[in-house]
Structure 1
Amino acid sequence: MYGQRSGSLVIEDVRLTPVLVADPPLLNTQGVHQPYTPRLIIEVVTAGGVTGVGETYGDTGYLDLARPFAERLVGREVGDLNGLFTLADELAVDAARVDDSVDVGGLRGVLTADKLRLSVVSGFEVACHDALGKALGLPVHALLGGKVRDAVEYSAYLFYKWADHPASYGWADHAAGAAGEPGAGWGAALDPAGVVAQARLFTERYGFTSFKLKGGVFPPDEEIAAIRALADAFPGLPLRLDPNGAWSTATSLKVAAELGDVLEYLEDPALGTPAMAEVAAGTRVPLATNMCVTTFEEIPEAFAKKAVQVVLCDHHYWGGLWRTRELAALCRTFGVDLSMHSNTHLGISLAAMTHVAATVPGLRHACDSHYPWQSEDVLTERLRFDGGRVTVTDTPGLGVELDRERLAALHARWLDAEFRAMRERDDAAAMRVADPAWETPAVPRW
């Protein structure tokens, strides 16, 4: 019986489809989002005719690893999830593609060959989970041990934002208009009033009841004023501020002191575990991270030094859904809270995030998601936020379906030579379109 089932679960084909997805001009300490961002859609097809889907980063470095990985995956069992990591170890990694700079595409700290590889594996791991769940008639959360909540809470992800992409792109109007700019009607947000107006739209449209502001864009006093304005507009609701390591320890402590009465947590105010530990020792405001703890190897130092109180996991670069659960168990063991980081993503990733978050006990903080900013998707039906939550589906697999026409259209954009420069996520290069003199700021910036 097992042998018969096993035969139908052999991987017969793997399809990789890189896409370019419209993105609004959201600001961060490195620069601004490009008009389009690259993502990679992965399809794993079994001998039994079941197709599972996954999603991850789509920059060239990821694609270069994904292609040989896909070739080697054919003929393997779709349920052999541990084997994915063995296979990844067997593949050579071009170390020349990796340096020790901040990863602009994810703003997640030092990018290493191992992190790059795990980010690729994660897309295949999710696709295999989806295919296995469909084949067995089980939702992905059941494969992960079962859900402990019926809906997962997400936080409104606020950004300082330009009204439009720079006209100097030449086709910027096409990018915003034809795509239907993500967050239509949002307009600019460059001061406290603009941030509050953006937050009100998030609550009206999606029902979010907590807010995170991407900081590190303006001098700290201006961002303190924005958080204060949010606290006045939404009294008692959880607030977060994330400058992506743009501040010195002294500046971090100053901001923590001035906002200690309203912040749920302060995310990566300073760069690196030693600096975060110094800040943590001088404030009662919890510190969160998706930059200094992004691999299991980084956990011992950070936890021993009490540098972070909340780890923001991201299945894309922890290696998938099972490893996210392993991370959650470690955090529980050491009394560290867990929530979820987000990069620009589509509905496949949001579905995967929701399934794994549904299985994590004691998830006390709303998760991050860029999804409301994305006007384009590859699914037949967009996932919905109701009261700031996404309902956990019991449909087999991830519970999502690819829209072939939309996928083909976004892939055609990726193939179009006019948009070739967008294949690499580079917020600093995007900023130089508006300001040719822009250079990636040195850290700490303030």
Structure 2
Amino acid sequence: MNLTVTDVRLTPILVADPPLLNAQGVHQPYTPRLIVEVETADGVTGLGETYGDTKYLELARPLAERLTGRPVTDVNILFGAGLADLAVDANQVAAEVDAGGLRGAQTADKLRLSVLSAFEVACLDAQGKAFGVPVHALLGGKVRDSVEYSAYLFYKWAAHPAGVTAEPDDWGAALDPAGVVAQARAFTERYGFRSFKLKGGVFPPDEEIAAVRALAEAFPGHPLRLDPNGAWSVETSLKVAKELGDVLEYLEDPTLGTPAMAEVSARTDIPLATNMCVTTFGEIREAFTRDAVQVVLSDHHYWGGLRATRHLAALCDAFGVGVSMHSNTHLGISLAAMTHVAATVPHLHHACDSHYPWQSEDVLTERLAFTDGRVTVSDAPGLGVALDPEKLDRLHRRWAEDDGALRDRDDAAAMRAAEPEWRTPVMPRW
């Protein structure tokens, strides 16, 4: 068996995205992703996926060159001294990167980890295929046969603005409590989800309180979450917590930063979740010792991969902090990776997030399926998914033909197509 990496292929793509609203603006009609293929001398190919903005692609290219010629089992070298100078490359890209304001402040090191994660997943996928075992076996084995996901609800326009090239979708608009409930019913009918998360920070808090109340009435007893992406002040966060204390499973990132989250936490009994103030291991000590958060939403992309996710989960367990998973716009490779690592985490306390139902396009031969809100954990070798070259080529050609306007996600720019005077709001917004 020859496990030497002989080729690493990087394919940037643009994937259709509906007009989903958030605190920063609205999703663009197409979002960039990067597909990584790692091939060994025996012809085994492993797949990875991460964010596809230009800054990620610029870091991925030198990493691909350095991985070639190494054994695909040498995953540790990705994070070792041999590639440490990639952090310098990252600083040359940007010392402080604006990640759309939705994932917390993104440093160069976090950018580097987001790129490394795709290579780690691809190497693990290739190892699993070479050894004939699933990725979850390489992580120590699964503790559950399926992973629960939550319906990810958004305020949404019926379509992208007139004159903007976009793919149609059949979800319709959701701009008030009735629209949010209708969207939740559609998610339940199509995928069987049993818990619901609403992306907030779009409308004044009283309107979003009304939407969550409407969900609680329509789905009594079902877990509900609300995530305004730090759009509220401490006092507004406390007001919402008081209003919704009897129906929320947790309140996610109501305000920005660990000090503000700690103040809210000290004055409410509602658990606070985050994927913004705890996104690196260095941020854990302050957040946990100040009891600023009670649930951490991991994202294997910017934590640095699947093994780092398991390490994070172990630390959360040691501190009595709950753990689940965050999601950004992603395709089936990332969903498969999320499912494999989630299957190995003993104390997965909450249903995971997933944007996947919103994505009408994929690069796989077969889409992953949700049954009763759950994804079955594959026991096939590797991730258990296969790349469709024709689909990949079509989405790459869309990227290649773009004039550059869509190669970097910019929710504020997308909003200006409808509201020319729109500027990214100063936080806290309310």
Task: Give yes or no for TM over 0.5.
Answer: yes
Matched, 1:188 2:183: no
Q: What is the alpha-carbon distance in structure 1 between the residues aligned to residue 261 and residue 393 of structure 2? A: 44
Is the counterpart of residue 444 in structure 1 residue 428 in structure 2? Answer: yes
After superposition, residues 107-186 of structure 1 pair within 5 angstroms as: 107-169=102-164, 172=165, 175-177=166-168, 181=169, 185-186=170-171
SS at match of 1:196: helix
SS in 2 for 1:125: helix
CA contact (8 A) 2:90 2:112 kept: no
Q: Equivalent of 1:427, from 404, 411, 419? A: 411
Distance 1:109 1:94 in 2: 17
How far did residue 102 of structure 1 move?
Answer: 5.0
* Structure-1 separation of matches of 2:206 and 2:411: 24
1:343 aligns with 2:328: yes
In structure 1, the partner of 2:186 is 201
Deviations 1:169-198 (A, max 9, x none): 2xx2xx224xxx3xxx21000000000000
Does the Cα contact within 8 Å between 2:205 and 2:240 map onto a contact in 1?
A: yes
Pairwise CA distance, 1:93: 2.0
| Amino acid in the other structure paired with 1:428 | A
CA distance in 1, matches of 2:191, 2:372: 6
The answer on 1:56 being equivalent to 2:50 is: yes
Change (3 A) 1:101 1:248: farther
In structure 1, distance between residues paired with 2:415 and 2:154: 15
Query: Which residue of the partner structure matches residue 76 of structure 2?
Result: 82
2:63 to 66, 69, 72: 69
Deviations, residues 152-211 of structure 1 (Å, cap 9, x unaligned): 000000000000001132xx2xx224xxx3xxx210000000000000000000000000
Residue 306 of structure 1 is matched in structure 2 by 291
- What is the one-letter code of the residue matched to 1:148? V
Distance 1:439 1:271 in 2: 19
Deviations 1:111-166 (A, max 9, x none): 10000000000000000000000000000000000000000000000000000001
| SS of equivalent residue, structure 2 residue 353 | coil
Q: Does structure 2 conserve the Cα–Cα contact (< 8 Å) formed by 1:102 and 1:110?
A: yes
Q: 1:101 to 1:66 in 2, by over 3 A?
A: closer
| One-letter amino acid of the counterpart of residue 113, structure 2 | L
Deviation of the 1:89 alpha carbon: 1.4
Question: Hey, what's the Cα distance between the residues in 2 that align with 1:61 and 1:292?
Answer: 22
CA–CA distance in 2 between the matches of 1:100 and 1:281? Answer: 30
1:19 and 2:13 are equivalent in the alignment: yes
Deviation at 1:101, TM superposition (A): 6.4
Partner Cα distance (1:96, 1:214) in 2:
33
Offset at residue 417 of structure 1 (A): 3.4
Query: Given residue 95 of structure 1, which amino acid in structure 2 is its aligned partner?
Result: N
Matched residues in 2 for 1:432 and 1:215: separation?
A: 19
| 1:95 is aligned to 2:91 | yes
Distance 2:34 2:4 in 1: 23
Instruction: Report whether the alignment pairs 1:35 with 2:29.
Output: yes
Q: CA deviation at 1:17?
A: 0.3
Is this contact kept in 2: 1:26–1:33, CA < 8 A?
yes
Provide the rounded CA distance (Å) in 2 between the counterparts of 1:76 and 1:137: 20
Residues 97 and 108, structure 2, Cα contact 8 Å, conserved in 1? no
Cα deviations across residues 197-245 of structure 1 (Å, max 9, x unaligned)?
Answer: 0000000000000000000000000000000000000000000000000
- Deviation for aligned residue 1:95: 2.3
Q: Structure 1 residues 100 and 84 mapped into 2: Cα distance closer, same or farther (>3 Å)?
A: closer
Deviation at 1:359, TM superposition (A): 0.1
Residues 1:315 and 2:300 aligned together: yes
Paired residue type of 2:382: G
Tell me the distance in 1 between the aligned counterparts of 2:77 and 2:248.
42
Which residue of the partner structure matches residue 273 of structure 1?
A: 258
1:361 and 2:371 correspond: no
* Residue 340 of structure 1: how far off its partner (Å): 0.2
Q: CA deviation at 1:103?
A: 1.7
Amino acid at match of 1:290: N
Distance 1:115 1:29 in 2: 22
Question: 1:135 is matched by which residue type in structure 2?
Answer: A
Report the identity percentage: 75
Where structure 2 has 5 or more consecutive residues not aligned to the other structure, the ranges are none
What's the offset of the Cα at 1:362?
1.6
**DSSP 3-state at the match of 1:128:** helix
SS at match of 2:315: helix
TM-aligned CA deviation for residue 97 of structure 1? 3.6
**TM-score scaled to structure 1, two decimals?**
0.95
Count matched residues. Answer: 428
User: d(CA) in 2 for partners of 1:309 and 1:318?
Assistant: 18
| C-alpha separation in 2, matches of 1:163 and 1:99 | 38
Cα deviation per residue 1:36-59 (whole Å; 9 max; x = unaligned)? 000000000001110000000000
> Helix, strand or coil: the match of 2:163?
helix
| Residue 94 of structure 1: how far off its partner (Å) | 4.1
Paired letter, 1:198:
Q
Query: For residues 234-313 of structure 1, what are the structure 2 equivalents within 5 Å?
Result: 234-313=219-298
How far the C-alpha of 1:77 sits from its partner, in A, is 1.2
